[in-house]
Amino acid sequence: MSIIDEDFIYLFHEGRNYKTYSGLGAHICKEGGVEGVRFSVWAPGARKVNLAGDFNNWQGDLNPMEKIKNSAIWTTFVPGIGKGELYKYQIYTGTGKLIYKADPYAFYSELRPGTASRVYPLNSYQWNDEKWMEKRKREAYYDKPVLIYELHPGSWRRDKSGNFLDFRQLADELAVYLKEMGYTHLELLPITEHPFDGSWGYQTTGYFSVTSRYGSPDDFKYFVDILHQNEIAVILDWVPSHFCVDDHGLAQFDGTCLYEPADPSLAYNEWSSLNFDFGKKEVLSFLLSNAYYWFDIFHIDGLRVDAVSNLLYLKGRENKAAIEFLKDLNKIIFKSFPGVMMIAEDSTNWPLVTYPVDVGGLGFNFKWNMGWMNDLLEYIEKDPVYRKYHHHQLTFSFMYMYSENFVLPLSHDEVVHGKKSLLNKMPGDYWQKFAGLRCLYAYMMAHPGKKMLFMGAEFGQFIEWDYQKELDWFLLDFPMHKKLHEYVRDLNHFYLKSPSLWDADYRTEGFEWIDADNNEQSILVFIRRSVTEDRYLIVLSNFTPVVYRNFRIGVPENTYYREVFNSDEERYGGSGVRNPDNIKVCDKPWHNRSFSIKIDVPPLATIFLSPKKDKDIKEKN
């Protein structure tokens, strides 16, 4: 039932109402013993507000709304209607102009090109993810494996007729696929309501509305529920910095600049959308409630906050109101939902993004490492002959890798707009492209930080991502693509069972250079250490198509070593340059270490070596 009392109104106008959706919007309820729907909307600039919908043949005058005393909230109760009814607010502006607006707090919307809101209950789904939700409270993820699969729901798979799969179909297929492939998290491009498919969801009109393209709110709850039951976390892309300018949306909502700044120079941004006015308390309540809503009502496990740089700066200056919003957002979410992820997509050098607010940070717990991504992709697009002149693009990220809690993103943004797919970025012939991509993926797994890969990259999509059709799954009929797919699966599972690669991502003792300076051969060698087990892995990445025989590297101790993973294995499409199970150590100093080993280095490959402890040697013997 909708609850709008004095406390609700006070907190709303103070910017501290984090559950505005419990009162505003359309709520199925019983009043005076009569079942119906209570509608409430904030419209301070309106002269009059009516409710129009299917139930009154869009004759708004039949359902006038009343303004609640001491507020700018208009409300009305319509008896005898319920779930599924379409409606809009008929708003007479201060100048007398009549406009029709969708509900900013609508929980469901008409399928595009329709723009009406739709009545839908929030409490009609029976959850079955209690074990997951209880376990999540104890999670921190800093010392856990995190493999994120980034996905656009409308173009992962489609049915035989080319239509979208709904959330229930997607859930059943994805749960199996993600578990088999070894992914721990799923990150969805925005699933809030948006009018234009080509915006990929980033031009939002309905912040509280699950897009009707893929089903109902209950269908999305089922989606999250099924993934939770399969121990897969769900992260949503969330866009609090700007909103869509379409007439039925938030822009000029009551005839005034209600959600956006009144100054046009501050309102519009580089995407030709409108910035939120973070100096307005009711806008803060709207956005803070919206973030809270997705955790509270839909059990999601994280938000990836889009375009944080657009919040930190406005017209080249620090946007103090938006900065305070981010701090409040993170404090509220972590206090209310322990164990979740708040991820900043930020390309600036703003300090302490992933530090707590009480020590001067923004309060996120993770941040995309855009510098790592940009440098690495620039590097791998170069012909291997010239890579030695750009070795710093490989090593620079290690200089700042502990400055934040980073996620290493190979996202959708890098495989569109002429940038080419990851596979097609690779120079060389057909074989070298696949070898280079295998090398890149394994190197990514070895680099400190959590991991994220956009859909299609796991089997080598050749063309850029096209939101208008499903991925090129037919490529799995071709041997090299099938082998790459199997490689990514095996690499993911190798990562999951190797604490050395994740339990000290953000601790200095988890990483150690062996050789950072071999630019002539474009080779990096380093150690990843576990802090929970007495184990470590030696990682070598060769970014040239040259095989190096009897290649010497320094090692930490006098024991046998063995190769535990190699991206050049023949079963993955590689050339098959391998190393023996017992790699002998000699006391020849190398790389400032007392001991060294000789190995064969495969072309365009990353290999992992593990020390054989006494127990391993005895078992082998």
Q: What is the DSSP string of 134-191?
A: HHHTT---TTS--EEEEE-TTTS-B-TTSPBPPHHHHHHHHHHHHHHHT--EEEESP-
189: pLDDT strictly greater than 70:
yes
Helix (H, G, I), strand (E, B) or coil at 505: coil
Q: What's the Rg (C-alpha) of the chain?
A: 27
Alpha carbons within 13 A on the beta-carbon side of 289: 26
| Identity at 449, one-letter amino acid code | G
pLDDT in tens, 134-187: 999 998 899 999 999 999 999 999 999 999 999 999 999 999 999 999 999 999
Give the rounded percent of residues in the chain with a pLDDT score beyond 70.
98
What is the average pLDDT value for the chain, to the nearest integer?
Answer: 96
pLDDT tens track for 382-393: 999 999 999 999
Residue 532: per-residue pLDDT: 84
Contact by Cβ (8 Å): 550, 420: no
Backbone phi, then psi, for 529, in 5-degree steps?
-110, 145
User: Between 281-298 and 217-229, two packed helices, what is the crossing angle to 10 degrees?
Assistant: 50
Based on the residue annotation, tell me whether 306 is a catalytic residue of this protein.
yes
DSSP classification of residue 222: H
Task: Give Cα 219 to chain centroid, integer Å.
Answer: 20
The answer to whether the Cα torsion of 384, 386, 388, 392 is positive or negative is negative
Percent residues over pLDDT 90 in the chain: 95
Structural domains in the chain plus CATH codes:
6-118 (2.60.40.10), 130-501 (3.20.20.80), 508-620 (2.60.40.1180)
Q: Is 391 exposed, middle or buried (0-12, 13-18, 19+ CB in 10 A)?
A: buried
Token duo for residue 420:
């080419």
Active-site residue identified among 277, 345, 375, 458: 345
Burial class (CB in 10 A: 0-12, 13-18, 19+), 418: exposed
For residue 618, the model assigns a pLDDT of 37
Under 8 Å CB-to-CB from 616, ≥6 apart: which residues? 560, 562
Q: Which of the 8 DSSP states describes residue 111? A: P
* Alpha-carbon distances, residue 345 vs 158, 274, 441 (angstroms): 29, 19, 21
Q: What is the distance between the alpha carbons of residues 12 and 340, in angstroms, rounded to a whole number?
A: 25
Q: Are 204 and 193 in contact (CB under 8 A)?
A: yes
**What is the full DSSP assignment across 49-61?**
EEEEEGGGTT-GG
Phi, psi of 497, rounded to the nearest 5 degrees: -95, 10
Model pLDDT, residue 591: 97
In tens, the pLDDT along 411-461 reads 999 999 999 999 999 999 999 999 999 999 999 999 999 999 999 999 999
Tokens of 364: 């996120």
pLDDT at residue number 614: 55
Summarised one tens digit per residue, pLDDT across range 264-275 is 989 998 888 999
Residue among 351, 302, 350 at smallest CA distance from 329: 302
617 has pLDDT over 60: no
Among residues 231, 216, 174, 411, which one has the least CA distance to residue 304? 411
- 596-606 average pLDDT score: 98
At residue 64, the pLDDT reads 98
Cα(453)–Cα(410) distance, rounded to whole angstroms? 5
Angle at 19 between CA 49 and CA 344, to 5 degrees: 110
User: What average pLDDT does this structure show over 354-372?
Assistant: 98
What 8-state DSSP symbol labels residue 418?
A: T
Phi, psi of 91 (to 5 degrees): -110, 125
Asked whether residue 621 carries a pLDDT value surpassing 90, the answer given is no
Which residues face 523 on adjacent strands?
518, 542
Instruction: For residue 612, list its beta bridge partners.
Output: 560
Positive or negative, the CA dihedral 508, 513, 518, 524 is negative
Q: Are strands 511-518 and 523-529 parallel, antiparallel or unpaired?
A: antiparallel
Catalytic-residue membership of 345: yes
On the question of pLDDT at 619 being above 50, the answer is: no
Residues pairing with 595 in the sheet: 555
- Cα–Cα nearest to 324, from 105, 42, 11, 16: 16
All residues at 6 or more sequence positions from 545 whose CB lies less than 8 Å from its CB, including other chains: 384, 428, 432, 435, 603, 604
C-alpha triplet 246, 250, 251: angle, nearest 5°: 60
Which of 225, 306, 470, 568 is labelled catalytic?
A: 306
The number of residues making up the chain comes to 621
Distance, CA of 423 to CA of 438 (rounded, Å): 10
Q: Which residues contact 577 (CB under 8 A, 6 or more apart)?
A: 547, 566, 568, 600, 601, 602, 603, 605
The tokens describing 257, both together, are: 């600049």
First-to-last CA distance in the chain? 71
Pairing verdict, β 341-344 and 302-305 = parallel
What number is the average pLDDT over the span 591-609? 98
pLDDT band at 315 (very low <50, low <70, confident <90, very high): confident
Query: Does a cis peptide bond (omega within 30 degrees of 0) precede residue 113?
Result: yes
Chain segment 92-149, per-residue pLDDT in tens = 999 999 999 999 999 999 999 999 999 999 999 999 999 999 999 998 899 999 999 9
Closest CA to 72 of 42, 49, 38: 42
> Both tokens of residue 253?
């909502």
Structure tokens at 183: 């992914």
